Amino acid sequence: MNSAELLYSNYEESLQKCELFAKLSKPQWFDLLADFHEETWTQETCIINQQKFLQHFYIITSGRIKMYNVDEISQKEHTLFLLKEGDVFDLFCLLDGAAHKVYYECIDNINVLGIHMDHLRTWLKKNPSHFESFFSYTGKIMRALEANVSELIFANISTRLLKLLLSNIDEESNKLRYINDLPNKELANLIGSTRAVVNRHLQILKKNGSIKLQRNKVQIKDLDLLIKELEKENNNSK
């Protein structure tokens, strides 16, 4: 078994979650993975070297990593994306070859598969049919950023928090995932607020019985009630 086949064997489940390469057959995965290597980053590792992501492209195979920006004057943070298993970065650097002024911090211990940007661009030139998937995925990312900006401008904190919670509920289990164990500061960074404000709104949701707070974790107690809270917020904003 060569290195590409070994990577596929070890991370097949994670790779199948990678939307960007969703249409690849197993032989095509073997061809692509021939130029990939593994990297491991420990929890709380902060990566601010923009040159690293200008030259390398990554697929996350385990853990969560936040992609964020910091205002130089106020030092306020805003999390652009909370990346998880199957997600990729940095797509913007791949597309335009320009440095992307964002930072990354590992929420968990992280394992990634990395490839040099030039090798990935070469693979794409040899496999032009996959540009369609890249265009579609890029459009999805741009729409997510568009929605993020619109909510920061037009939606109040309560609405933003409710949408964040509801968008991270597993459809099968109705349980909160990905953000359920994040501290309030990280939740605040995701919706453009502060830890104190988020804590106040979480306490309100706890009091009305829609969520449960225990040991710094958020649990969904009544999904229907949570949905009704969002509907009420939307009606009040009209």
CATH number of 155-236: 1.10.10.10
Question: How many contiguous H segments (helices) and E segments (strands) does the chain have?
Answer: 10, 10
Cα(160)–Cα(163) distance, rounded to whole angstroms? 5
pLDDT band at 174 (very low <50, low <70, confident <90, very high): confident
Q: What is the DSSP letter of 49?
A: -
What pLDDT, on a 0 to 100 scale, did the predictor assign at position 215? Answer: 81
Mean pLDDT computed over every residue of the chain: 91
- State residue 65 phi and psi, 5-degree precision: -140, 135
Query: For residue 183, how many other CB atoms are within 10 A of its CB?
Result: 12
The count of C-alpha atoms lying within 13 angstroms of the C-alpha of 90, restricted to the half-sphere facing its C-beta, is 24
Numbered ranges of CATH 1.10.10.10 in the chain: 155-236
> Which strands sit side by side in the sheet containing 88-89, from one edge to the other?
37-41, 110-116, 56-62, 88-89
3-138: in CATH 3.40.50.920: no
Numbered ranges of CATH 2.60.120.10 in the chain: 3-138
pLDDT tens-place string over residues 2-60: 799 999 999 999 999 999 998 899 999 999 999 999 999 999 988 876 677 789 999 99
